[in-house]
Amino acid sequence: MNSETNSSPGQVVHFELRKDGESRCVLVLAGQLDMDSAPWLWRELKQQLGSVHATTLEINTAGLTHYDSAGLGLLYFLSKAQMTPDAQVTLSELKPELAKALRAFSMDDYQAFQAQQPKKQSIAEHVGTGVINLASDLREMVAFIGQLASGLVALLCHPRQIRMGEVLRIFESAGVNALPIISLISLLVGLIIAFESAQPLAEFGAQIYIANMIGLVMVRELGPLMTAILLAGRSGSAFAAELGTMKVNEELNALETMGLDPVRFLVLQRLLASLLLTPLLTIYSMFTGVLGGVIVMLALGFTLPTILVQLESSVHIKDIVFGASKGFVFGIIVAGIACLRGLHTKSGPSAVGQATTRSVVSGILLIVVADAVFASLLFIFNK
Partner 1 sequence: MSTLPNIVVSVQNLVVGYAGQAVLEHINFEVRRGEVFAILGKTGSGKSTLLKSLIGLYPPMAGKVLIEGTNIGTAEGNERRRLLRRIGVLYQSGALFGSMNVLENVRLPLDAFTRLPEMAKDLVALAKLRLVDLKESAAKAPDELSGGMQRRAALARAIVADPAILFLDEPSAGLDPITSAALDALFKELSRDSGMTLVIVTHELPSIFAIADRVILLDAERKSIVAEGKPHDLRDHATDPLVRHFFRREAK
Interface residue list for partner 1 (CB under 8 A): 32, 35-36, 38-39, 42, 65-66, 68-70, 72-74, 76-77, 82, 104-107, 109-110, 112-113, 116-118, 347-350
- For partner 1, give the closer residue by CB, 106 or 306: 106
| Beta pairing, strands 88-92 & 24-33 | unpaired
93 neighbors 104 (Cβ within 8 angstroms)? no
Cα–Cα distance for residue pair 31/37, rounded to 1 Å? 10
Minimal distance, residue 30 CB to partner 1, in Å: 14
Q: Partners of 31 in the beta sheet?
A: 13, 64
**CA angle 311–292–306, rounded 5-degree value:** 35
- Which string of DSSP letters, residue by residue, matches 78-92? HHTTSS-TTSEEEEE
- For partner 1, give the closer residue by CB, 106 or 133: 106
- All residues at 6 or more sequence positions from 252 whose CB lies less than 8 Å from its CB, including other chains: 243, 246, 262, 343
Minimal distance, residue 89 CB to partner 1, in Å: 14
Query: Hey, is 34 helix, strand or coil?
Result: coil
The alpha carbon of residue 297 and the mean position of all alpha carbons in its chain are separated, in whole angstroms, by 41
Cα–Cα distance for residue pair 180/176, rounded to 1 Å? 8
Minimal distance, residue 38 CB to partner 1, in Å: 6
- For partner 1, give the closer residue by CB, 63 or 73: 73
Minimal distance, residue 122 CB to partner 1, in Å: 20
- For partner 1, give the closer residue by CB, 104 or 179: 104
- For partner 1, give the closer residue by CB, 76 or 287: 76
Minimal distance, residue 198 CB to partner 1, in Å: 51
The alpha carbon of residue 359 and the mean position of all alpha carbons in its chain are separated, in whole angstroms, by 10
Angle between the N-to-C axes of helices 304-314 and 268-299, in degrees from 0 to 180, rounded to the nearest 10: 130
Per-residue DSSP letter, 32: E
- For partner 1, give the closer residue by CB, 2 or 117: 117
| Beta pairing, strands 24-33 & 56-67 | parallel
Cα–Cα distance for residue pair 33/210, rounded to 1 Å? 78
Minimal distance, residue 154 CB to partner 1, in Å: 36
190 neighbors 218 (Cβ within 8 angstroms)? yes
Minimal distance, residue 12 CB to partner 1, in Å: 10
- For partner 1, give the closer residue by CB, 109 or 203: 109
- For partner 1, give the closer residue by CB, 73 or 233: 73
The sign one gets for the Cα dihedral 175, 180, 181, 183 is positive
- Which string of DSSP letters, residue by residue, matches 244-272? HHHHHTTHHHHHHHTT--HIIIIIHHHHH
- For partner 1, give the closer residue by CB, 165 or 349: 349
316 neighbors 356 (Cβ within 8 angstroms)? no
Minimal distance, residue 234 CB to partner 1, in Å: 27
Minimal distance, residue 46 CB to partner 1, in Å: 9
